[in-house]
Structure 1
Amino acid sequence: MKNKKVAVTGGLGFIGSHLVEALCQENEVVIVDNESSGSIKNINHLEFDNISLEFGDITEINLKKIFDGCDYVFHHAAMASVPESVANPLKCNLVNVTGILKVLLAARDNEVKKVVFASSAAVYGDCNNLPLSEDIPIKSVSPYALSKAAGEMYCQLFTDIYQLPTISLRYFNVFGPRQDPNSQYASVIPHFISNILNEKKPVIFGDGEQSRDFIYVKHIVNANLSACQTDQTGSFNIATGKRTTINQLVPIINRTLGKSIDPIYDEPRPGDVKHSMADVSKAKLLGFNPSTNFFEELSETVRWFVENQRN
């Protein structure tokens, strides 16, 4: 993609900043963010004149004005914490459901070519029918998950009745450089790296045998770029189709850092699912085929944390 004007809500966040980094090479990028979970530090290394920043809450800022002239909108602004959504479901609904509705209205009114919505594998709930395919009924077990499911439904509704092309990408467990280890809903990976790097025992909630489909952030970026350049609409799993247990992570990180710090175990967190792994066959319609090397990508992430000492 090049010579386009695009908007990235949540563009200062972990995933959003990586997306901005890729887009700004050959496009004009407008970032919408309130720094509730993201940081301007995530794009400080980008020295491009074609990046502009609009500070404000997604539910309050004038998106219709901001999206004027935009070809594509990538919506990543959200309350992304399951525990926080359980504690404050009203706020979760405001940010995630009202937020996507405002994005869609502004995109419709500006005749945007496509909206790419960052959804989540959390919409599947604690389903044991693995691998998880997009035709499995949604069974959300947290307000966060329910809000993402509602966002997908709004996207499909706007496609059906307003002819606004939309696509929802169900991210599984994303990890990579610049992920905030202090975030409640960050992947366990930055938590573990930060703790072990600082000689602290990583905390595993539950028995550690829960499994996740971890996907490197660069593949998420590629999925977003592919999504807006295809005629496909609807919901798609974005993952690797493989799973790793939480217990397997600690020795890998220890080995990369040259340490031997054992984890400690705590009670499972409410709203967390036991196992998660995607069926990624449908995503091939987007041209998405994640040939990944998890251990190499994990080591690359560890090295980034060592070099930047983020704790």
Structure 2
Amino acid sequence: MPSYKRALVTGGAGFIGSHLTERLLADGWIVTVIDDLSEGKWANLPRHKNLTKHKRSILDPITALVKRTDVIFHLAALPRLKRSLDDPWQTHRVNVEGTLNLLLAAKAATVKKFIFASSSSIYGNRNHPPFHENMIPDPLVPYSLHKVIGESYCRMFSQVWKLPTVSLRYFNVYGPRMNPDSPYANLLPKFIKLMSQGKTPRINGNGRQTRDFTYVDDVVEATILAARSPISGEVFNIGSGNTISVLRVVELLNKYLDKRIRPTHGPPVIEPRATLANNAKARRLLGWRPTIPFEEGLTRMVQHV
């Protein structure tokens, strides 16, 4: 197993990035974080002698920061399906051109590993769950297409320029530090905040859509295992392998918050009907195992609020 010491984390002040940065520091890495703070905040990160922070876009010239880096963990993006529909041009620039900018810098600096955060949303609705990595992507919105393009760039850089890359398709990551106040907030933090205040959550559609929620600590573990692995040019599903409906999420939140709130329903939106990972490849080749059941992870989120 390779021994790496220096990491660059893009989007490191965000939800997943801050958890990854904390874990890397705890494991003895020297970490540089790049974040434009459009989604993240420095308050998510600890003060640490081995942590350096830069407020910067991934579209900026970045070669100097990449020098002497062993591993780039590329988590920065303008996320959310709806956001990419509202602003396809700017999200494309950041999510696609920003990724290419980082890959070119990594190639120039002969970085030892490049980890790309992809998304389960690439599977769309034509594929039937559980999803496995050799299914043909069916992106429903620009954001999902951006991730498909990012994966293709990573594969090409691995094959043509021998830059070791791994793409990880994260499935519905959740946990503490998710922002409930963003106009593009995810379902879980938004519903927890509303219901804890006695307010009614609004479900898009009938609520029978299902999600493979994967706890952030499990995702961080998979990400580090991918960095440590000698494997290159591959794609992995990082999901719990279990699924739950949105209606069931509301039932559980009523239970944990001691509420009896009935959700309202709005029209359906453009989104996958279901996400469910076949994670056998990650188990076999990375030695990864998800460890946090959804009800335990949801309890942690509620307690954090």
Question: Which secondary structure state, in structure 2, belongs to the residue aligned with residue 199 of structure 1?
Answer: coil
Residue-by-residue CA offset, 1:55-90 (whole Å, 9 max, x unaligned): 111102x31100110000000110102111112111
Map 1:161-310 → 2, pairs under 5 A: 161-233=160-232, 234-270=234-270, 272-284=271-283, 285-305=285-305
Cα RMSD, aligned residues only? 1.3
Structure 1: gaps spanning 5 or more residues: 306-311
Moved more, 289-298 or 158-167: 289-298
Q: Which runs of 4+ in 1 moved over 4 A?
A: none
Moved more, 219-228 or 126-135: 126-135
AA partner of residue 18 (structure 1): H
AA partner of residue 53 (structure 1): K
Q: How many residues align?
A: 301
AA partner of residue 67 (structure 2): D
Question: Which secondary structure state, in structure 2, belongs to the residue aligned with residue 228 of structure 1?
Answer: helix
The answer to whether the Cα contact below 8 Å between 2:127 and 2:138 also exists between their aligned partners in 1 is no
Give the CA deviation at 1:182. 2.2
Distance 1:85 1:223 in 2: 27
With over 3 angstroms needed to count, the CA separation of the structure-2 counterparts of 1:32 and 1:122, relative to structure 1, is: same
Match of 2:36 among 34, 41, 45: 34
Distance 1:70 1:292 in 2: 31
Distance 1:3 1:216 in 2: 25
The answer to whether the Cα contact below 8 Å between 2:209 and 2:245 also exists between their aligned partners in 1 is yes
Give the CA deviation at 1:175. 0.5
Residue-by-residue CA offset, 1:217-266 (whole Å, 9 max, x unaligned): 00010011000111223111000111000000012111111111211111
Distance 1:280 1:67 in 2: 31
- What is aligned with 2:67? 68
Give the CA deviation at 1:187. 3.1
Structure 2: gaps spanning 5 or more residues: none
Give the CA deviation at 1:2. 7.2
Distance 1:78 1:49 in 2: 27
- What is aligned with 1:50? 50
The answer to whether the Cα contact below 8 Å between 1:58 and 1:77 also exists between their aligned partners in 2 is yes
Distance 1:171 1:127 in 2: 19
The answer to whether the Cα contact below 8 Å between 1:172 and 1:239 also exists between their aligned partners in 2 is yes
Residue-by-residue CA offset, 1:160-194 (whole Å, 9 max, x unaligned): 00000000000011100000112344431111101
Distance 2:280 2:64 in 1: 38
The answer to whether the Cα contact below 8 Å between 2:127 and 2:135 also exists between their aligned partners in 1 is no
AA partner of residue 101 (structure 1): L
With over 3 angstroms needed to count, the CA separation of the structure-2 counterparts of 1:184 and 1:240, relative to structure 1, is: farther
Give the CA deviation at 1:3. 6.5
- What is aligned with 1:308? none
